[in-house]
Structure 1
Amino acid sequence: MTPHDPPPTVTADRPRTLEVNMGRRRFLTYLLGVPALAVATRITYDSLAADPAAAALPSPPSVEEFFDIGEALVVASAPTMPLVTLEIGEDGVARLDLPRIEMGQGITTSVAMLIAEELDVALERVVVTCADARPELLLNQLTAGSSTLRAFYHPVRALAAAARARMLAAAATQWGVPTSELSTSGGAVNAEDGRSTDFGALSLAAADPALEVGEVLPKPVSDHEIVGTPVRRVDGFDIVTGRKKFTMDLDVPGALPTMVRRAPTWNGEFRSVANRGDIEAMPGVVAVTTISSGVAVVAETFEQARAAVCAVDATFTPGPVPDEDDESIMEKLRATSLPFAAPPLGAITVESTYEWPAAAHAFLETECAVADVRPDGAEIWSGFQAPIVAQQKIAVELGLPQDSVTAHVVPCGGAFGRRVFFDTAMEAALISQQVGRPIKLMWHRTDDMRHGRCRPANVQRFRATIVAGQVATLEQRVTGVSTDFRHGLGEILSATATSLPEGAHQAVVNDAFGQAVFLTFISSPYNFGVYDKKLLELPLGIPTSSYRSVPNQPARGSEEMFVDEVAERLGVDPVEFRRSTLKSERARAVLDTVAEAGDWGRRMPSGHAQGIGVHIESRAYTAALVELDCRDPRNPQVTKAVMAVDVGRAINPLGLEAQMQGGLAEAISLTLRAGLHVVDGLPLEGSYSEYHFARQKDFPDDLEIIIMPPVGEQIGGAGEVGMAAPTGAIANAYARATGTRPRSFPINHPIDFEPIPPGLLPPPAFPEG
């Protein structure tokens, strides 16, 4: 396998304007790839204004309302869109190598739907794969910010429409008829006189750069037959039957199971090993080597590697936070929180604080990578969210030219932001280079929870100033452990900028990057007069990374709790208070929808209550109504949930519904019972039995997801918007049911297990053999 090189190009005439919001400065480039037709496209970005709305005390617009982080990623992607190609081979199958990773969010299905729609082919005749690292794409290969479909909606439609136009032109030339007498269906061109030929037979002729092509226009949305209909994931059957290949399923010749003995504290570094010879003599052990993060054991089976890792006698540096625990970290955050401004004389103020501990990403597939490093090159397989910077930095560490390192993007079983970093792939590459053979490195679940990058602990403080019965100011102060953004924008230049200076303390530039993310992610949807938000991050050296919805789930979820408190102080119903202060009519619409569908305000049995929440993110709007059974306050159960979501236009409603269900599961988990207990600089949790993420029994039987009618041509992001509204709704229901407002999350967070000693890995429940 070799890295992708951009194919030779010839330029064809520009098509006419494609759609509203496509912009005027664009072009299509046709890539000649015999015997396949390949088409590439580029669009310019058209900025979109925020929804105007009237209110008694309107808030000035914030940065996010005009330009959010997803739009920044769309803009960054646009210049290299011409290098993204759609191919139709002689077999008539349409293939697109998507420069994003499928990690469970369903993007390969949605992109395939767009292609099938525009080409008039069956969905099963479209194959969308994840592209290997392609450095020439620059900023166009970072999967983050709920931006994939926002970035590719217009380009993919234009690609497929151009391919269809060339098929029509090729058939018209062969048959000597005008294209106006031709049509397409089922992957074929059809003539009025009954002649028909499939796309595969036309592929070579359609790729001719001399072919004269008429007007290129994507279908009107009103003609869509596939897009907008519920479609099961194209890889769903393979996943449930075990046929889908994830990283550890790959058959890389000679690759041996490998695991690492890690430090007893966060970010402790290897210093020495006292019993290397004993470990090398253990059954099945093939090689032992060391890297900065620990002692690597290569063995014939993973169980032999695990057993050997547990027998390692090694010393490590104490790491940056060897004596810290949850309370000491929270105390540091509380002590450094930025102050509120002085309120006006005579004003009434409402203040509240909400605290969130570190949280594990907890995806099903633990961190893993396969590496085959040779003197003249390397191949790495892993679930890369940012494969370009991974390829570039791995090449530097291996001392190899960049173009001799191939980073294969393997669809992964979850990521939630963790896999923007490539720690595991780097470890695998270094171990493979040292032992001189291919290896399969897998993090044990215990190491994944304890040493994997976490959602940083944070404190959310709010104060509302009330004047004449209205909110005149809303102040938000967020203090958190620094989120590591040293992956940059997915390539080495911005990654290098955010990683200087090196060391346990993250860079000043990294924290500036964090401020930019905060400003372009967090925005109150309410007209609360003067809105003043500030972020302060503490660089403690704890391994962190972005978590799904990045700062929004705790920041906006907490604000939704605070809105209920302000409404209570004003003596106003929480739904009516939100209705009267929301800036956007679309936000009001999702709120009204869940309030009506969930029968807001109905009488509830003792110990039961309803809660409500609203959220806007990535140009998408959600609201959630939750009913909670709190008869046992130590074991509250979500019994009913109604969620409404407006993403402008849903490509795959079934996939969108799944995203909302996933957001609800995260909200139930993080609000009620899932968090990390840090003791002596390391989380105690080491398995799903200890980290109390929601199980099926915790999910409501009564669940309704309402997808709002299409609004224009704008596509909103769906991957992260479903978390904050149910977070607020669950906590608000808890407060109404128990009479106690939660301030620390998760609400129930006991240490109800016996932790595995640091450095050890528990044996499998079902031993090998």
Structure 2
Amino acid sequence: MPAHSAGTTTRSESRDSGTGFMTVGRRKFLGYLVAAPTLVVVADIGRQAAWGGAQASAAALPSPPQTPEVYEFVDAYRDACRPTNPLLAVEVKEDGRVAFALPRSDNGQGIITSFAMVIAEEMGIDPSDVDVTLADARPELMFNQLTGGSSSTYSLYTPVRVAAAIAKGALLDAAAAQLGQEKRLLETAGLTIVDTAGRAIPFGELSRLAAVPVTTAAEVVLKDREEFTVLGKSRGKSDALAMVTGAKKFAMDLMPEDALPTVICRAPDLNGFPDGGPSNLDEVRNMPGITDVAPIGNGIAVRARTFGQAIDGVNALQVNWNPGTVAGQSDEDIVEGLRRAELPLVTPPIPGKTLEQELVHFSRNGSALETNCAIVSVKDGKAEVWAPAKSPISGQKIAAEKLGLAQNDVTFHVIPGGGSFGRRLFNDNIQEAAEAAKAIGKPVKLMWDRANDCRQGRVKPLCVTRVRAVVTDDAVASFELRYSGVNMEVDEGLTDVLTSQLIKAPGGNLGVSETFWEISVHTPYNFGVNTRAMVETNYGFNTGSTRNVYGPDTCTARELMIDRIAERLSKDPVDFRTEFVKTDRLRKVIERAANEADWGKSMPEGTAQGIGVHQEYKCATACVVEIDARPETVNRNIRSARTGPRVTKVTFVVDPGLLLNPLGFEAQVQGGINDGIANAMTAGLHLVDGSFVEASWDNYFYTRQWNTPPEVNVILIEDSEYPEPGGAGEVSVAATMSAVVNAFRRATGIEPEYTPVLHKEPFPEGFTQYPTSPPIPASPTNGLEFTF
């Protein structure tokens, strides 16, 4: 029997004058027992929750609230999901196990484990007895099958709880009837219901008895937070052992019949395309293992018995290429164009009172451990797709269009992915695999090579931020932020979500990028006249978010300026923030981070602390880092490595709201910390003459072992007054990035002009730029020479 949810029937709310939070009393929820042979339950929930109230110090000039302080992206997404929440089902199977097809994509963030815990909590069972799988694409879910923006837990937490609680209630009703006992005297024990005499009935038997022939409404009261025995306790990922032993199946581990390895020959320029077919087509088709060679939209597809043979075929092709979309251009050309497009600042500069800064934020690669990949098989007018995808309904639609099929003739299986960082929101892999399967007429197992994942894949777009602040003797009279960027592409699925909410958003009927900006970027300080505005220009790049959209760059611009303002007013950076920050919730995490990190302690010359603060995804965060910029650290000798100053300690404090799985949340924070360090220090792409220099992980300078801080302390506020779970996936990137840039400035005395701050340093000795011909660089064969 499955279970669903339908609406709030009673509600008791009051505003606590001390915290500013909306407190929600014990509530009843309405759901449905769905007509089915076994127990199925679904749920639908009304609007809940509120942000903390604003507080201003005596000196601060209050700023009016900005949109994200009352309604941010996760709110918009949750609202878009509400109409289809009743289609989500928790089911008790005939064997007694509980099942849930999760309409989200797990790419390592651990939501499979989290939702097993949520269901187990309400049903009184162990999470190991809950089977959470990833749902196939379901077009009827509309907006409710999209993963991104750290929204999964926030949007699904209550609907899934309601469905699970109703399922348990139905099992108890069935057991009470069978045992002749009052329902209140029964309880769960494993996958059974037991009475006071010790008599037990298995869930599987009760599931058949609890099934209903006609969908029926049911009310339920959810557990209070104080009653939790599963949620709030740390639990490792349910698939962790399978990951490290190789038992976990990713897309490329699957072996559908006749789906052979397929690789695309790509242009040397970004978004270049073939000028006619290969001149040696027949020769390549006759190479060992090659089964098919066919042109597709942006390149030439080569299908073979093995990936090695497919790569050999790609590298043997002789193709003339048309120029790409940024042919002949380099980073500085793009930067100058963005400067010309910048929106004007409103407040005129006042001599002696105005501070102004510009930061250039270079493109960053979001390439995951698992490169772009997909399997497409077409038989008898029906197609199947297997791929890691965060927008599978959009992917299903794209596959159908490319294959010339109706959307309902395409079955799209969502496979757990090996990382995402915004990449899986786009279905480039699905489009290419479908094009190849159509052109070749056979099943394909398509995988991108690592070099072109970096050269041709989606990147965080290059942007320029400008901040102007007018500072009085003891306050900030105005604070203006401008963002000029290469167009941030948004997948069709996310576009649909945002456009569905445009008319409801406080900003009114804005465009998609402007809407995302409006509901995600804000300045959480009382700085008088406070404006922010953005403009984007399409330069023909392949772009997307890379673990947070606008937050890291705009937060870094803001927090760097705040350090400068504090200096102008002769105030300590922490004291200044606690004085001018708008909410007590943020003030508390700033103070806690400063205390835990021993802020202001004596440090050797060439080292320093830095702080960054951010509020997004219903979380409040503060990060304090220590950096070592002394010559012996900067110049440490590591083969072919970007070294430079090293972050030696990170203290990260987050108020996560309702904390479901502390271990899982901490893991996400740790990953985001390393992203923040990379963004601030070393990880940037260099566009030269129409293509990116970097072409693999070994020459893209992400945070490596020699740059990872030896000491990382993550502090989760476990008694948060915020009543709902915040998002973990991207929460730590922005505050960390800004803290590192501030620490770098204090340790070196260098005023940052761009991020990463080492972007314009010469490439390290031993750096090798991979050639674009052949398109796929040969794999190294000398690795053992460098082992320890």
**TM-score, scaled to structure 2:** 0.91
Of 754, 766, 770, 1:756 maps to 770
Q: What residue is the counterpart of 1:453 in the other structure?
A: 458
Q: What residue is the counterpart of 2:527 in the other structure?
A: 528
Of 131, 141, 144, 2:145 maps to 141
> Once the 2 structures are TM-superposed, how far is the Cα of residue 398 of structure 1 from its aligned partner?
1.6
> Once the 2 structures are TM-superposed, how far is the Cα of residue 683 of structure 1 from its aligned partner?
0.7
14-23 or 658-667: bigger deviation: 14-23
Q: Aligned partners of 2:697, 2:215: CA distance in 1, in Å?
A: 59
> Once the 2 structures are TM-superposed, how far is the Cα of residue 281 of structure 1 from its aligned partner?
1.3
After the TM superposition, which residues 276-355 of structure 1 pair with which residues of structure 2 at under 5 Å, given as runs? 276-343=281-348, 348-355=353-360
Q: What residue is the counterpart of 1:719 in the other structure?
A: 729
Q: Aligned partners of 2:449, 2:747: CA distance in 1, in Å?
A: 40
Q: What residue is the counterpart of 2:505 in the other structure?
A: none
Deviations 1:248-281 (A, max 9, x none): 0112121101101111111122232211111111
Q: Aligned partners of 1:163, 1:15: CA distance in 2, in Å?
A: 18
Of 484, 488, 491, 2:489 maps to 484
Of 452, 472, 475, 2:477 maps to 472
Q: Which SS does the other structure have where 1:521 is aligned?
A: coil
Q: Aligned partners of 1:675, 1:639: CA distance in 2, in Å?
A: 21
Would you say 1:68 and 2:78 are equivalent positions?
A: no
Q: Which amino acid aligns with 1:699?
A: T
Q: Which amino acid aligns with 1:315?
A: N
Deviations 1:177-200 (A, max 9, x none): 211221223222111122112212
Q: Which SS does the other structure have where 2:459 is aligned?
A: coil
> Once the 2 structures are TM-superposed, how far is the Cα of residue 13 of structure 1 from its aligned partner?
11
Q: What residue is the counterpart of 1:31 in the other structure?
A: 34
Q: Aligned partners of 2:215, 2:371: CA distance in 1, in Å?
A: 50
Q: What residue is the counterpart of 1:765 in the other structure?
A: 780
Deviations 1:416-454 (A, max 9, x none): 111111011111112112222211101000010010011
> Once the 2 structures are TM-superposed, how far is the Cα of residue 482 of structure 1 from its aligned partner?
0.5
Q: Aligned partners of 2:98, 2:326: CA distance in 1, in Å?
A: 52
Does structure 1 conserve the Cα–Cα contact (< 8 Å) formed by 2:35 and 2:214?
Answer: no
Q: Aligned partners of 1:21, 1:531: CA distance in 2, in Å?
A: 32
Would you say 1:674 and 2:680 are equivalent positions?
A: no
Q: Which SS does the other structure have where 2:271 is aligned?
A: coil
311-320 or 226-235: bigger deviation: 311-320
Of 437, 444, 461, 1:439 maps to 444
Deviations 1:8-27 (A, max 9, x none): 99999997669975998963
Of 38, 53, 72, 2:55 maps to 53
Q: Which SS does the other structure have where 1:79 is aligned?
A: helix
398-407 or 186-195: bigger deviation: 186-195
CA RMSD, Structure 1 to Structure 2 (Å): 2.5
> Once the 2 structures are TM-superposed, how far is the Cα of residue 766 of structure 1 from its aligned partner?
5.6
Q: Aligned partners of 1:603, 1:487: CA distance in 2, in Å?
A: 52
Q: What residue is the counterpart of 1:246 in the other structure?
A: 250
Q: Aligned partners of 2:589, 2:677: CA distance in 1, in Å?
A: 20
Deviations 1:341-397 (A, max 9, x none): 243756600111111111100210011111102350111111111111111122122
Q: What residue is the counterpart of 1:687 in the other structure?
A: 696
Q: Which SS does the other structure have where 1:522 is aligned?
A: coil
**TM-score, scaled to structure 1:** 0.93
Q: What residue is the counterpart of 1:378 in the other structure?
A: 383
Does structure 2 conserve the Cα–Cα contact (< 8 Å) formed by 1:619 and 1:717?
Answer: yes
Q: Which amino acid aligns with 2:752?
A: P
> Once the 2 structures are TM-superposed, how far is the Cα of residue 536 of structure 1 from its aligned partner?
1.0
Of 396, 400, 416, 1:395 maps to 400
Does structure 1 conserve the Cα–Cα contact (< 8 Å) formed by 2:143 and 2:497?
Answer: no
Q: What residue is the counterpart of 1:662 in the other structure?
A: 671
Would you say 1:625 and 2:624 are equivalent positions?
A: yes
Q: What residue is the counterpart of 1:363 in the other structure?
A: 368
Q: Which amino acid aligns with 2:232?
A: G
Q: Which SS does the other structure have where 2:460 is aligned?
A: coil
Q: Which amino acid aligns with 1:614?
A: V
Does structure 2 conserve the Cα–Cα contact (< 8 Å) formed by 1:625 and 1:642?
Answer: yes
> Once the 2 structures are TM-superposed, how far is the Cα of residue 211 of structure 1 from its aligned partner?
11
Of 25, 40, 43, 2:42 maps to 40
Q: Aligned partners of 1:314, 1:90: CA distance in 2, in Å?
A: 58
Would you say 1:181 and 2:180 are equivalent positions?
A: no
625-634 or 144-153: bigger deviation: 625-634
Q: Aligned partners of 1:485, 1:635: CA distance in 2, in Å?
A: 35
Q: Which SS does the other structure have where 2:512 is aligned?
A: helix
Deviations 1:201-236 (A, max 9, x none): 211011135899986222111111110011101111
Does structure 2 conserve the Cα–Cα contact (< 8 Å) formed by 1:622 and 1:725?
Answer: yes
Of 729, 732, 747, 2:739 maps to 729
Q: What residue is the counterpart of 2:87 in the other structure?
A: 83
Q: Aligned partners of 1:25, 1:121: CA distance in 2, in Å?
A: 22
Does structure 2 conserve the Cα–Cα contact (< 8 Å) formed by 1:486 and 1:510?
Answer: no
Cα 1:568–1:400, aligned 2, differ >3 Å: closer, same or farther?
A: same
> Once the 2 structures are TM-superposed, how far is the Cα of residue 120 of structure 1 from its aligned partner?
1.1
Q: What residue is the counterpart of 1:502 in the other structure?
A: none
Q: Which amino acid aligns with 2:253?
A: D
Q: What residue is the counterpart of 1:237 in the other structure?
A: 241
Cα 1:623–1:121, aligned 2, differ >3 Å: closer, same or farther?
A: same
Q: Which amino acid aligns with 1:736?
A: R
Q: Aligned partners of 1:551, 1:23: CA distance in 2, in Å?
A: 37
Cα 1:120–1:712, aligned 2, differ >3 Å: closer, same or farther?
A: same
- Percent identity between matched residues is 40
Q: Which SS does the other structure have where 1:33 is aligned?
A: coil
Cα 1:623–1:602, aligned 2, differ >3 Å: closer, same or farther?
A: same
> Once the 2 structures are TM-superposed, how far is the Cα of residue 687 of structure 1 from its aligned partner?
1.0
Does structure 2 conserve the Cα–Cα contact (< 8 Å) formed by 1:299 and 1:305?
Answer: yes
Q: Aligned partners of 2:217, 2:257: CA distance in 1, in Å?
A: 47
Would you say 1:203 and 2:212 are equivalent positions?
A: no
Q: What residue is the counterpart of 1:416 in the other structure?
A: 421
Q: What residue is the counterpart of 1:505 in the other structure?
A: none
Report the number of matched residues: 748
> Once the 2 structures are TM-superposed, how far is the Cα of residue 338 of structure 1 from its aligned partner?
2.0
> Once the 2 structures are TM-superposed, how far is the Cα of residue 311 of structure 1 from its aligned partner?
1.2
Deviations 1:695-729 (A, max 9, x none): 23322121110000232422211111211111111
Q: What residue is the counterpart of 2:785 in the other structure?
A: none
Cα 1:494–1:427, aligned 2, differ >3 Å: closer, same or farther?
A: farther
Q: What residue is the counterpart of 1:651 in the other structure?
A: 660
> Once the 2 structures are TM-superposed, how far is the Cα of residue 324 of structure 1 from its aligned partner?
1.0
Runs of 4+ deviating beyond 4 Å: 7-26, 209-215, 344-347, 490-495
Q: Aligned partners of 1:713, 1:45: CA distance in 2, in Å?
A: 13
Cα 1:418–1:635, aligned 2, differ >3 Å: closer, same or farther?
A: same
Q: What residue is the counterpart of 2:109 in the other structure?
A: 105
Does structure 2 conserve the Cα–Cα contact (< 8 Å) formed by 1:98 and 1:130?
Answer: yes
Cα 1:599–1:128, aligned 2, differ >3 Å: closer, same or farther?
A: same
Q: Aligned partners of 1:356, 1:731: CA distance in 2, in Å?
A: 12
Q: Aligned partners of 1:18, 1:115: CA distance in 2, in Å?
A: 25
Long gaps (5+) in structure 1: 1-6, 498-508
> Once the 2 structures are TM-superposed, how far is the Cα of residue 568 of structure 1 from its aligned partner?
1.0
